[in-house]
Amino acid sequence: MTSTNWAGNLNYAAASFHRPQSVDELSEVVAAAPLARALGSRHSFNHIADTTGAHISLERMPAELTIDQAARTVTVNAGARYGEFAERLDAAGFAVHNLASLPHISVAGAIATGTHGSGDSNPSLAAAVAGVEMVKADGTLVVMRRGEPDFDGVVVALGMLGILTRISLDIVPAFKVRQDVYENLAWSSLADNFDAITSSAYSVSLFTHWGDEGITQAWRKSRVDAAADLDDRFFGATRAKREMHPLPDVSAENTTQQLGVAGPWWDRLPHFRLGFTPSNGEELQSEYLMPRRHALAAVEAIRGIAARLRPHLFVSELRTMAADDLWLSPALHEDCAGIHFTWRQHIPEVSALLPLVDAALAPFDARPHWGKVFETDRDRLAELYPKLPVFRDLAARMDPDAVFRNDFVDRWIGR
């Protein structure tokens, strides 16, 4: 029985653990459970996936990879991890538009929380969902497709509407990416050139420890078909001559290849390689997405409290992402910038800092990542999600007996 999340910072409270091997078996488990919750690859840092009832993992469901060339979609089993099917998709000549920093997460878990990668033109991974199949609380199977009235509510749904069994994702022609890391980008340079920096590649990630040195590493992931030759200088930063890890003293062996070597999308868009543990040991994560017009002011706000954060922080990462239309997506209707924190696993100290971070970012309409640790004002959160009442109605219709409820969603989504 699985009792902790991936980071080991919390124990799940589930009374039972199920690994059905077919949709029929899954339906039986769900229909018999007064309380249930799907578990993905357990990479969330808070109690979003928890339940006191039946925990259901899809890891034993049959693998699937069905490419519909005409519709430009791939259909996968919902519990599949991106890294498990990406290579086969590539071999068939296709790609998904983007990936998160690690390929180890399940598709269902990623889309349920609005997980994203980076890139001015790249919306969240959930935005690529063209259709879903799920088992509802009464054990019946429903299929929903993009364009149907409630569809924008069912994709980023925090596991509240049913257990997703199959997911269809938009695909694009496979592409190659090169990754180049630049060191020491000054704060002033970021402020003067923010748009030029974030649009300088298909996906850009900026790592910082919030010190006077500014951005310690800028990771540029450029499509090879679009990339011109890259200069050794990048807005005052210097191209690294060796492979880098975002943390200064950590070996780069678990990071995806850099130094401008072209490779397939699935082996460059994530920062970390599938075969390795993507972390410097125990950690916690928090992240806020805010309209990108507020990005620089938000960065300044965090710099203002950085001295208090730094003793508990491994590193922060700034990314950008395009708007989507998904009701509970942190990037709803606004092109966004994200400020991410990889904390040391100092649980009491980090817990005490979360309200400080939230208060610093609140003036910028910042929405917390659903799968990471945060503390916020529930009324403010409700204001930031204008579709919340409609989503609550949808949840009440699809799950009238509140089978998929837990304390986390009761607190932040309400009934």
> Please, which residue, 125 or 190, has the CB nearer to ligand FAD?
125
Task: Answer yes or no: are the C-beta atoms of 229 and 256 closer than 8 Å.
Answer: no
127 touches ligand FAD by CB under 6 A: no
Site map for ligand FAD, 202-241, x if CB under 6 A?
----------------------------------------
Q: What type of residue sits at position 27?
A: S
Residue 147 CB partners (closer than 8 Å, separation 6+): none
Query: CB 4: neighbour CB atoms within 10 A?
Result: 11
* Candidates 64-72, 109-117, 189-197, 346-354; binding stretch for ligand FAD (CB under 6 A): 109-117
Residue 237 CB partners (closer than 8 Å, separation 6+): 182, 183, 184, 185, 189, 215, 218
- Candidate residues 14, 23, 36, 49; the one interacting with ligand FAD per rule CB under 6 A: 49
Paired residues of 67 in beta bridges: 74
Instruction: Count the site residues for ligand FAD by CB under 6 A.
Output: 35
Site map for ligand FAD, 276-315, x if CB under 6 A?
--xx-----x------------------------------
Name the nearest CA neighbour of 7 among 341, 281, 406: 281
Alpha-carbon 181 to chain mean position: 22
- Candidate residues 29, 158, 353, 360; the one interacting with ligand FAD per rule CB under 6 A: 158
126 touches ligand FAD by CB under 6 A: no
Strands 141-145 and 65-68: unpaired
Site map for ligand FAD, 382-401, x if CB under 6 A?
--------------------
Query: Which three-class secondary structure state does DSSP give residue 166?
Result: strand
130 touches ligand FAD by CB under 6 A: no
153 touches ligand FAD by CB under 6 A: no
Name the nearest CA neighbour of 360 among 303, 277, 284: 303
Paired residues of 217 in beta bridges: 183, 207
> Please, which residue, 186 or 252, has the CB nearer to ligand FAD?
252
* Candidates 99-107, 223-231, 374-382, 394-402; binding stretch for ligand FAD (CB under 6 A): 99-107
Residue 334 CB partners (closer than 8 Å, separation 6+): 291, 292, 323, 365
When CB distances to ligand FAD are compared, the closest residue is 109
Cβ-in-10-Å burial (0-12, 13-18, 19+) of 279 comes to middle
Q: Which helix (H) or strand (E) holds 332?
A: none
As measured in angstroms, the least distance from the Cβ of 164 to ligand FAD is: 3
* Candidates 136-144, 157-165, 213-221, 380-388; binding stretch for ligand FAD (CB under 6 A): 157-165
- Candidate residues 35, 127, 164, 295; the one interacting with ligand FAD per rule CB under 6 A: 164
- Candidate residues 18, 43, 209, 220; the one interacting with ligand FAD per rule CB under 6 A: 43
Instruction: Please state, in angstroms and rounded to a whole number, the distance separating the CA atoms of residues 381 and 388.
Output: 9
* Residues 379, 124, 7: CA angle, nearest 5 degrees: 75
> Please, which residue, 216 or 285, has the CB nearer to ligand FAD?
285
37 touches ligand FAD by CB under 6 A: yes
Alpha helix ranges (H) inside 291-387: 295-309, 347-361, 378-384
Summarize as ranges the residues that interact with ligand FAD (CB under 6 A).
Answer: 6, 37-44, 48-49, 58, 78-79, 100-102, 105-106, 108-110, 112-113, 115-116, 158-159, 163-164, 278-279, 285, 369, 371
